[in-house]
Amino acid sequence: RRAEFARLRDRPAVTQDGAKIQLLMNAGLDVDLDMLGEAGAEGIGLFRTEFQFMVAEEMPRLTAQTALYSRVMDAAGGLPVTFRTLDLGGDKVLPYMEAEREDNPALGWRAVRMGLDRPALLRLQLRALIAAARGRPLKVMFPLVASVDEFRAARALVDLEIAWANRRGRPEPARLDVGAMIEAPSVIWHLDALLPMTDFVSVGTNDLMQYLFAADRGNPRVSERYDLLSPPALRALEMIQKACAETGTPVSVCGEMAGRPLEAFVLVALGFEALSMPPAGIGPVKQMVLSCDRSAARKGIQSLLRSTSGSIRNEVETLARKLYL
Ligand code: PEP
Ligand code: MG
């Protein structure tokens, strides 16, 4: 199968009925970069910047951050890279950073909340990203945006850093896209306000589903109780996809589900055209895309969304077997 996937490496992922699906990979460290060419990814849809901080013994300085981001962009060789700003807190704690004990870390002081409360830290990272871009295009996104005000405030910090670079005569990115991760259910009902402020969004289904089902993603006792192939999960994703299509906002899905062929099949059926996943998922997902008829898949999924069952996995499997397996 590996050899089979390798043969598909340079083939674009296009469905039987001609829909081009962009397959991107998730990364976080230098070692992941080798996988870009090997997996045949069309870019990095999620670069988890906190990994550098988690493996370091002390807070990485501006130069170290800039050097890593620059290596990532070099390795991508012009393919798009979406850098996610620090997603610390929750289960990701740094040994060298003060951490308050929280009763509910997943609901606590994490991700962009921490960045907005410690703007010096976030600004330093944005400065490093702008410096690393050195006039190349730059894509930055903020994790766990739960309100439009948070996104507005985070975006204002980007503007401050662009002004900072300007004052020093440093080059601005050739193009700057600032995006939000859709991970907090709250924003699903405010996409009409949020999307026009963003240049793109990416759906982090790992967190989104944890919050949607109120089930700790790290606790298998509860995390495996709910199926993402279920009407509530998929209707939420459908709402996001529709709102993005209506406003012309580029959207990708970057949670783990994007890398599983059956789940990815449903995402494609719902209309998502960019999926970012662990490198090992690219071959199997591409194989699915190549053999899938999207409009037939869409019709099949539409009726399953109205199911009264808690899981529609078996029905999706039956549909997929007819359409691509
Ligand atoms: C997610 O939550 O789906 C996501 C992609 O981010 P992370 O897994 O790093 O929280
Ligand atoms: Mg997340």
Q: Provide the pLDDT for residue 325.
A: 62
Residue nearest to atom 9 of ligand 1 (CA): 48
- Long-range Cβ contact pairs of 116-125 (< 8 A, separation 24 or more): 116/150, 116/153, 116/154, 119/157, 121/86, 122/85, 122/86, 122/154, 122/157, 123/157, 123/160, 123/161, 124/62, 124/65, 125/49, 125/65, 125/85, 125/86
Q: Provide the pLDDT for residue 209.
A: 98
ipTM of the complex: 0.99
Q: Provide the pLDDT for residue 3.
A: 80
Q: Provide the pLDDT for residue 171.
A: 96
Contacts of 16 (CB under 8 A, 6+ apart): 290, 291, 292, 293, 294
Q: Provide the pLDDT for residue 6.
A: 82
Indicate the pTM of the whole model.
0.97
CA 204 / ligand 1 centre spacing (Å): 5
Residue 15 belongs to what H/E stretch? Answer: none
Given the CA of residue 210, which atom of ligand 1 is nearest to it? Answer: 2
CA 177 / ligand 2 centre spacing (Å): 19
Residue spans of the chain under pLDDT 70: 325
CA 181 / ligand 2 centre spacing (Å): 8
Q: Is the CB of 206 under 6 A from ligand 1?
A: yes
d(CA 204, CA 98): 27
Q: Is the CB of 204 under 6 A from ligand 1?
A: yes
For residue 256, the ligand closest to its alpha carbon is 1
Q: Provide the pLDDT for residue 91.
A: 73
